[in-house]
Structure 1
Amino acid sequence: MSTLQIGLAIIGGLVLAGVVAYNAWVTSKSAPRTVRERAGGGASPDERAGDETLPYTPADLTEHEMQRVDPVFGDTPGAPEPADPAEVAAATASVSINPLMGQPPEKRPGLDALIDVIAPLVLEHEVSGDAVLAALPGTRRVGSKPFAVEGQSEATGEWEGPRAGQRYRALQAGVQLANRSGALNDIEFSEFVVKAQAFADAVGAAPDFPDMRAEVARARELDAFASGHDAQLGFTLRARRTAWSPGYVAQHAARLGFVAGALPGRMVLASGQNGQAPILSLVFDSQAAMAEDPEQSALREIALSLEVTHVPRGEQPFARMRQVATALADAMEGVITDDGGQPLSADTMDRIGADLESLYDALDSRDLAAGSAQARRLFS
């Protein structure tokens, strides 16, 4: 082999090695960022600097396992029929507690004349909780509205969901005036009367129903107010360059206090107050989260959402939403946009914050403060 041929062979080998190295570099740059990258110290200096300037740390926010908090009487339209709290309480009592000893009353909001039609059920004599539970209708809905029965405890005088082993001096039935499916209508009111009357007959009570026209008109007025003051905010965080893996997103979110939600691809920032809905939700592609190897799944965007009417004003949810979005964008090299992909400026966010303050004032003026049991039921 001549010197020329040897030289050309060497040059060809070097070129081939260069192509292979370049392809490997391109592949590594296009792969989603993973937890292993950070755990192995592979993060860039810029990423490490971003980590040091996060506005929240796990010490700043309450981190505990979040349990989903649903409105007691107002669940999602079209969702499966929820288990009735009274039936659950009765079943628990019959298995683990002597019914005669009773159990602590349910910690749940009761019927409220502000958002419910309430019909007193006059009793000739006291009735047992067991008899009330046995007479309850099979479903706790009237059309698209939640239906409930309460008893006035002989022992405490308080209204509560019926419980085994208790005795009640009075009963009342109610149906919610409005929710996100609309206002209570004539047909639903009539169905309420039929259902409540059948229950009353079973326990020997005499119902006193309010005027249908007045209640339906009240339902329409409440629904009109709710329609004009319902707010659900969402930010989209989009990757500027390199995509993210689900684990990479979860790691950054966890450092801000988020915990895994009930569904794949969902994390929540739980409230520090027991019984309250989560402050924020973070959602990404559920299929990516359930992939056989999630670390190889590439996410180009994630969504932050705030259910405004479900979170108390005192939690400053919008301010925290802005801070979380900014922290994630800085740490993961993302940009904050609206649903249409338009970047959100600081001025735009300031205007949104001002509008929310007006919304909170309007809700307060109707005794429907954001995060209250009544607001969570109405806006459901």
Structure 2
Amino acid sequence: MVMSNLQIGLAILGGLVLAAMAAHAAWSARKNQPRQAAPSDPGDGPAIESQVGVGIEPGLDAAAFDVASFPLPLVEKRASMDALIDVIAPIALEGLISGDAALAAMPPTRRAGSKPFSIEGFNETGQRWETPLAGQRYSLFQAGVQLANRSGALNEIEYSEFVMKTQAFCDAINGSPDFPEMREEVARARELDQFASDHDAQLGFVLRARHAAWSPGYVQQNAARLGFVAGVIPGRMVVPASVAGMPPVLGLSFDTQAALADDPAQSAIRDVAISLDVAQVDRSERAFERMRETALALADSMDGVVTDDNGQPLAPEAMDTIGAELEQLYDTLDQRDLSAGSALARRLFS
């Protein structure tokens, strides 16, 4: 049968419609596919996608905030314990005690409840307080427990555990402890905890995708250009502090499952969190200014928008207000001898 001109025209039109639909489907698929990291130049090493979850962030576990974990400069002759945030019990000795004997008598754990606990000795040779070391000799000891941290104030049960651990150490080395009055120390702990609760600032921005989602590699590649490095947890990146061993200045995190996917390139990320733990970072790092600049730069390069936790866009005026309030907070911490980034502040706000 010979097709009429009308039939031929309809067939052609139908074919064009099908072709247009197929093209639109392909375009939509490309549009909705997560943005990918740009290919690396030869010699640049493995592509960003293969680096998701690689940990090079300095390790910061709970033990890092224990009293005895902050090494003292050699010129220091004072203990790392401080009466400002610690209960301190002096321990008198009948004579010199070796570091080996002290180490053998140390309690197995360095906590009393949720509070860091430690014992330090006064090194006769170095004339400084330190965690007991083998081969050294000590003329005095002191035991300490932290008054407060982010778990709350030291309570009566934790104080009693502190006394028991200290007494056991003293019995082993023939030392005589002098414990402060529990009621007064617990009251002091509650006052310090209240101050810390009122001045604990942990800030967070959320960067949300305007249109296409992002792959983990795309996020990492853009963040790396602004100084972020991969953290110890998949889906986390950090901006390291200018001083080695200090807590990171900023953190960036996204869905851990996306980072651990068999094919991370196909994982769709629609938001990432940028965080700042104010008390942990020295004021000289300009942490909030860098947080703000970083968030805006990422929003520009990744076609995103900076919002608060509730998804509301953050206007420049709101960021200005936050910055001004932080300056007041820094001043208050300085006045209390708990300057942001100091060893005492890092311990208290941990």
> Structure 2: which amino acid aligns with 1:18?
A
> Structure 1: which amino acid aligns with 2:315?
S
Distance 2:247 2:90 in 1: 31
**169, 183, 201: which one pairs with 1:231?**
201
Q: How do residues 69-218 of structure 1 correspond to structure 2 at under 5 angstroms?
A: 69-70=60-61, 74=65, 110-218=80-188
Distance 2:321 2:250 in 1: 20
Aligned to 1:29: 31
Which digits, 9 at most, give the CA deviation of each residue in 1:85-131, with x for residues without a partner? Answer: 69xx9xxxxxxxxxxxxxx999x982111111111111111111111
Aligned to 1:48: none
Is the aligned partner of 1:66 residue 2:57? yes
> Structure 1: which amino acid aligns with 2:57?
M
Distance 2:296 2:338 in 1: 31
**273, 281, 303: which one pairs with 1:303?**
273
**6, 16, 19: which one pairs with 1:17?**
19
Distance 1:27 1:241 in 2: 13
Specify the SS of the correspondent of 1:336: strand
> Structure 1: which amino acid aligns with 2:14?
G
Is the aligned partner of 1:371 residue 2:341? yes
Distance 2:64 2:307 in 1: 35
Residues 333/323 of structure 1: CA separation in 2 closer, same or farther (3 Å cut): same
Is the aligned partner of 1:266 residue 2:231? no
Is the aligned partner of 1:339 residue 2:309? yes
Aligned to 1:44: none
CA contact (8 A) 1:309 1:370 kept: yes
CA contact (8 A) 1:32 1:296 kept: yes
Distance 1:72 1:21 in 2: 58
Specify the SS of the correspondent of 1:210: coil
Once structures 1 and 2 are overlaid, which stretch shifts more, 183-192 or 116-125?
A: 183-192
CA contact (8 A) 2:79 2:128 kept: no
Distance 1:73 1:334 in 2: 36
CA contact (8 A) 1:72 1:109 kept: no
Which digits, 9 at most, give the CA deviation of each residue in 1:181-239, with x for residues without a partner? Answer: 11111221122111100110001111111121221121111111111100000000001
Figure out how many residues of one structure are paired with residues of the other and give that number: 332
Once structures 1 and 2 are overlaid, which stretch shifts more, 327-336 or 179-188?
A: 179-188
> Structure 1: which amino acid aligns with 2:238?
V
Residues 348/191 of structure 1: CA separation in 2 closer, same or farther (3 Å cut): same
Any gaps of 5 or more consecutive residues in structure 1? 42-63, 76-81, 90-103
Is the aligned partner of 1:39 residue 2:70? no
Distance 2:173 2:32 in 1: 69
CA contact (8 A) 1:128 1:166 kept: yes
> How far did 1:22 drift?
1.0
| RMSD of equivalent CA atoms | 2.5
Any gaps of 5 or more consecutive residues in structure 2? 42-54
Distance 1:21 1:73 in 2: 57
Residues 167/105 of structure 1: CA separation in 2 closer, same or farther (3 Å cut): farther
CA contact (8 A) 1:256 1:324 kept: yes
Residues 280/368 of structure 1: CA separation in 2 closer, same or farther (3 Å cut): same
> How far did 1:374 drift?
0.3
> How far did 1:11 drift?
2.9
Distance 1:341 1:109 in 2: 46
Residues 179/151 of structure 1: CA separation in 2 closer, same or farther (3 Å cut): same
> How far did 1:357 drift?
0.6
Aligned to 1:244: 214
> How far did 1:40 drift?
9.0
Once structures 1 and 2 are overlaid, which stretch shifts more, 286-295 or 8-17?
A: 8-17
Distance 1:311 1:165 in 2: 36
